[in-house]
Amino acid sequence: MNILHIDSAITGEASVSRKLTADIVAKLKAANPDTAVTYRDLNKGVPAIDTDWFTAVRTTPENPTPEQQAIVATSDAYLAEVQAADVLVIGLPIYNFTLTAQLKNWLDQIARAGKSFRYTAEGPEGLLKGKRAIIGYAAAGTPIGSEFDHASGYLRFMLGFLGITDVEFVAADRLAMDRDAGLARAQEALEKLAA
């Protein structure tokens, strides 16, 4: 089994989502000792897509410049990690009711027509099928699935759009109100998680 482990929290060692993803990966590895893990810390920076990205990646110039080649290589590397993974373990810390900018940038980098999805006569089709995603959701005050949660539904939708429909959440939410209870809910979800 190949795991792609993604973190994006800005809070370093204090991050609950980083602890959740580490615990999820540890549980999966304990049940599958031959598991290979690729780790990507998005907090180190993920380029936002812009006009240069669009020109390099989407219009595929006939004679790309070295800068355009580098832009394509970066986007290809993110996508190759996802394509090689059987399981994605993604940390989803909630800032201002939604996902981190870094995680959004990563999703933008991997959402590539003809590579991770395609348009058909019946509508879009995800090309990253057969993968599982386990999300470590952490929020100080945003209950998962609430009207204020603009992250979990969006991430589930985007993964589904790309063909990843087996999506589970391990949530430590409402930590600012009752940290112990939020962590206990996450631990309970982790224990129920099939490895």
Binding site, annotated residues for FMN = 15-17
The position carrying tokens 């380029």 is 47
Euclidean distance between CA atoms 21 and 91, whole angstroms: 6
Smallest Cα–Cα separation from 106: which of 39, 48, 23? 48
**Contact 123/170 with Cβ under 8 angstroms?**
no
137 close to 173: Cβ distance less than 8 angstroms: yes
Contact 154, 120 (CB under 8 A): no
Instruction: Please name the residues in contact with 153: beta carbons below 8 A apart, sequence gap of 6 or more.
Output: 145
Q: Which two tokens stand for residue 141?
A: 């005050």
Residues in the annotated binding site: 15-17
